[in-house]
A = this chain, B = another copy of it.
Amino acid sequence: MFDSWRGFADKTLTAEWHRTLTEKARAARGEIIKMTTIAASGHPGGSMSSLEMYLLLYHFAKVDPKNPYRDERDRIIISHGHTSPGAYTALAAAGFFEIGPALHGFRQAGSPFEGHVERSVPGIEWDTGNLGQGLSVGCGKALYARLAGLTFHTYVLMGDGEQQKGQIAEARRFAVKYKLTNLTALVDFNRLQISGKIDDVMPQHVKVGWEADGWRVIEVDGHDLKCLYAALWDATHTQDGPVMILAHTIMGKGVSFMENDENYHGAALSMDQARKAFAELGGIPDDLEVLAARRKNGPPPPFATRRASYPKIEPGSPANYGVDEKLDNRGAFGKALVSVAEANMGKPGVVMGVFDCDLAKSVKVDGFAKKFAESFFQCGISEHSTATMAGALSAEQAVAVWADFGVFGIDETYNQARLNDINHSNLKLFCTHSGVMVGEDGKTHQCIDYFSLLNSTFGWKVITPADPNQTDRVVRYVLSTPGNYAVVMGRSVAPMVKNENGEPYFAGAYRYRYGRMEWLRSGEQVALVAAGNVVPTAMEAWNALQAEGVRISLVCVSDWSDLHADDLGALARYQDLVVLEDHNVKTGLGTALSAALFEHGCRTRLTRMGVTRYGSSGKPDELYKLLGIDAGSVAARVRSLLIEKSVMR
């Protein structure tokens, strides 16, 4: 009887469908209770209030249970991820999988049926649970449809408690600005959250708030399948801006003693309570003991899931900047971005989106914006939503680029970066104003924790190019490689790094090899290791020492996240390492190198020179001096180490 890929084609729900879904809803409520009771954990209340929405969406959106990863499918995003039992039962009811394993394997270690919705389950598009992000995900998916020329619709299911999160307003306004009529939000308006009534916890005019941001709101009884269907049909077919369906529902709907009781937001029924609920729902078989026994046999097997493949991107031809060119790394980024876009845009399968938060000229995406206006998204000052939205786009077959200052692209939005990473995004983050080098904007704007934050995830890789030539190559590498990369740059003009013949080091025959250090200069006893913004400083120190007849090694690290064993071995052969970085010295490259060398059993001395306190406002050179990380201080430190001639302790 199932006939998928409907796309809410009929204007009304037939009587037959109404009977079918009514019956499915009754059974699903029983399953929600089983799942959570067997797990003794989970969120039955909201699952039961969202259930009719789940059932209608998974039955009438354009989804294919037998082939759940078709690129042209509608995207159903679940923002209130704790209602996973509702989603799982509805997916099963629609034919995505058999419900059995979910009933005993919910929230069990190793099971695909995790506590909050996770992409390990077919039909689930995005791992959520941290509230307030789903609408931003939906915007990213809706943009993908537009950019890829696909006609799919995106539905975002949300809780009402989460309406308290500010990020939602950012996403709302973006959706209206870009006229995302292919996006529909559904709010499960059961008026309860963990701590009680939403009106007590945090009074809010939900409908008025959405309307204030330009959305059309349809109010509907969220348990009335016919009315809800009609609202979804309307929202799916309208060209009248994005629509929010405010679904008035009842937490714990269907079981009298659960209804409107916030205690069932996040607590399971006991076995006895569950049996009472089964009786009330009618016709729910009591197989709790069987399920409990099955659970003891271990978690159900994983599903074969398929991720969107990263588009094939030509890196294009690298630029070669002469030693006298005056350019900052961010400028080189902007040019390389346009160059890569020009080499790829228009090719089949290439979708690209560049996101900006009111800083296009500073972060140098204005060139891209001019040439590829349709692929450029000005998000205003709304970093949280932008981070999530760009991440969601990047998890499709698309290149998503977000450029921002370091404190906004990393510090302000760390959790969004973490959740993107969990969702296997391929976001390309370019942070152009990082380190104390940001200068006059002062301590609030100096991002000195880019590595320690992103290294706290398992996927993000941090690259700090040394000059415009290396930046150019790094940008091409990153754009043509899957995965989450943060390219962290400073603000100032970056002198070209030269080899000893005075030629550009990172141009011509140089090939960027991710993960390897560059020995810019070879010398004795001391290796001065520098990264990113302070490579010119280190070079200046090296030159000063060289002029005195002191010849040390100078090593450039661009890729902090993967330190190569061969490079570590080579470093360990020096009596002294001096690590110079424009990063919090507690948590940066020096610490990572120390830990790596220690665990390799190496035994050399390492001096960390970095940012030891919040900076102030001033020119980078002056600030470096105040912090003791200017060229003079570095050279002095090397001299004193050589004088000490210390042997190993």
| C-alpha spacing A128/B213, complex, angstroms | 27
A359 contacts B195, C-beta separation under 8 Å: yes
Stretch at the interface among A19-27, A182-190, A380-388, A498-506: A380-388
Distance to closest chain B CB from A294 (angstroms): 16
Q: Assess the A162–B116 pair: CB atoms within 8 A.
A: no
A9 within 8 A of B: no
Interchain CA distance A168-B380 in the complex, whole Å? 14
Give the residues in chain B near A649, CB-CB below 8 Å.
601
Pick from A222-230, A392-400, A508-516, A583-591 the stretch touching chain B.
A583-591
**Contact across chains for B165 and A118 when beta carbons are under 8 A apart:** no
Q: Please tell me if A373 contacts chain B, counting CB pairs below 8 Å.
A: no
At the interface, yes or no: A322 with Cβ under 8 Å from chain B? Answer: no
Residues 59 to 116 of chain A near chain B (Cβ within 8 Å): 81-82, 107-111, 113-116
> For residues 198 through 235 of chain A, which have their beta carbon under 8 Å from a beta carbon of chain B?
198, 200-205, 208-209, 211-214
- State the CA gap A202–B616 with chains docked (Å): 32
CB distance from A288 to the nearest CB of B (A): 19
Q: Which residues of B contact A202 (CB under 8 A)?
A: 173-174, 177, 358, 378-382
Residues facing B in A148-189 (CB within 8 A) are 161-162, 164-170, 173-174, 176-177
- Min CB distance A297 to B, Å, is 14
Whole-angstrom distance between the alpha carbons of A198 and B82 in the complex? 36
- Taking a contact as CB atoms under 8 Å apart, the answer to whether B444 and A165 are in contact is no
Which B residues are CB-close (under 8 A) to A204?
A: 173, 213
A291-307 Cβ-contact flags toward B at 8 Å (1 or 0): 00000000100000000
Contact of A452 among B169, B442, B456, B594 (CB under 8 A): B456
Smallest Cβ-Cβ distance to A43: which chain B residue: B441
Asked if A191 is at the interface of the complex by the 8 Å CB criterion, the answer is no
B453 in contact with A414 (CB, 8 Å):
yes
Smallest Cβ-Cβ distance to A357: which chain B residue: B164
Q: Which of B168, B590, B598 contacts A166 (CB 8 A)?
A: B168
A623 within 8 A of B: yes
**Residue ID in chain B nearest A441 by CB atoms:** B115
Q: B127 contacts A443, CB within 8 Å?
A: yes
Chain B residues whose C-beta falls within 8 Å of the C-beta of A358 in the assembled complex? 161, 164, 193-195, 201-202
Is A633 located at the chain interface by the 8 A CB criterion?
no
Q: Does A408 contact B (CB under 8 A)?
A: yes
Chain A, interface size category, equals 35 or more
Nearest residue (CB) in B for A118 is: B442
Residue from B211, B419, B455, B618 in contact with A107 in the complex, judged by beta carbons closer than 8 Å: B618
A130 at the B interface (CB under 8 A)? yes
B587:A598 contact, CB within 8 angstroms: no
If A452-B452, A648-B601 touch, whether A116 touches B214 (CB-CB below 8 Å) is no
Docked complex: A586-609 residues within 8 A CB-CB of B = 586-587, 590-592, 594-595, 597-599, 601, 603, 605-606, 608
Pair A165/B382 contact, Cβ less than 8 Å = yes
Task: Give Cα A358–Cα B159 distance, bound, in whole angstroms.
Answer: 14
For A208, give the chain B residue with the smallest CB separation. B212
A440 touches B107 (CB 8 A): yes
In Å, the complex CA distance between A584 and B584 comes to 19
In the assembled complex, A252 has its CB within 8 A of some CB on chain B: no
A39 contacts the other chain (Cβ, under 8 Å)? Answer: yes
A122: chain B residues within 8 A (beta carbon): none
A445 and B130 contacting across the interface, CB-CB below 8 Å: yes
Chain copies in complex: 2
User: Shortest Cβ distance from A581 into chain B, in angstroms?
Assistant: 13
Knowing A41-B440, A130-B412 touch, does A455 contact B452 (C-beta < 8 A)? Answer: yes
Partner of A422, one of B116, B408, B443: B443
The reply to whether B127 and A444 form a contact with Cβ atoms under 8 Å apart is yes
Bound: A649/B622 CA distance, A: 43
Asked, given contacts A407-B130, A411-B414, whether A193 binds B109 with beta carbons under 8 Å apart, the answer is: no
Please pick, from B441, B456, B625, the residue contacting A116 in the complex, using a CB distance under 8 A. B441
Let me know if A642 is at the binding interface, CB within 8 A: no
Q: Report the minimum CB–CB distance from A633 to chain B (whole Å).
A: 14
Is A613 interfacial (CB 8 A cutoff)?
yes
Judge whether B411 and A381 touch: CB under 8 Å: no
Q: Are A110 and B381 in contact (CB under 8 A)?
A: no
Structural contact, B422 and A614, CB atoms closer than 8 A: yes
Known: A161-B380, A595-B591. A205 touches B201 (CB 8 A): no
Interface residue? A32 (CB, 8 A): no
B209 engages A212 (CB within 8 Å): yes
CB pair A623–B109 under 8 Å, yes or no, is: yes
Given B194, B444, B619, which contacts A128 in the complex, CB threshold below 8 Å? B444
Q: Are B165 and A166 in contact (CB under 8 A)?
A: yes
Provide the bound-state CA to CA distance between A359 and B131, in Å.
13
Determine the distance from Cα of A418 to Cα of B168 in the docked complex, in whole angstroms. Answer: 23
Interface assignment of A361: CB less than 8 Å from any CB of chain B: yes
Cβ-defined contact, B595 with A381, below 8 A: no
Known: A110-B622, A165-B382, A173-B202. 16 other contacts (CB 8 A): A107-B442, A109-B622, A114-B442, A130-B407, A131-B381, A161-B380, A166-B382, A173-B203, A173-B204, A195-B358, A201-B358, A201-B380, A205-B212, A449-B456, A591-B592, A599-B606
- A-side interface residues toward B, CB under 8 Å? 39, 41-42, 81-82, 107-111, 113-116, 118, 127-132, 161-162, 164-170, 173-174, 176-177, 193-195, 198, 200-205, 208-209, 211-214, 299, 356, 358-362, 378-382, 384-385, 407-408, 411-415, 418-419, 422, 440-445, 448-449, 452-453, 455-458, 584, 586-587, 590-592, 594-595, 597-599, 601, 603, 605-606, 608, 612-614, 616-619, 622-623, 625-626, 648-649
Task: Give 13 A-B contacts (CB < 8 Å), ordered by A residue.
Answer: A42-B440, A107-B618, A110-B616, A115-B617, A130-B412, A194-B359, A195-B356, A200-B378, A208-B212, A407-B415, A414-B414, A422-B614, A453-B453
Query: Which 6 pairs show the lowest CB-CB distances between chains A and B?
Result: A109-B618, A166-B166, A202-B380, A109-B622, A601-B649, A114-B617
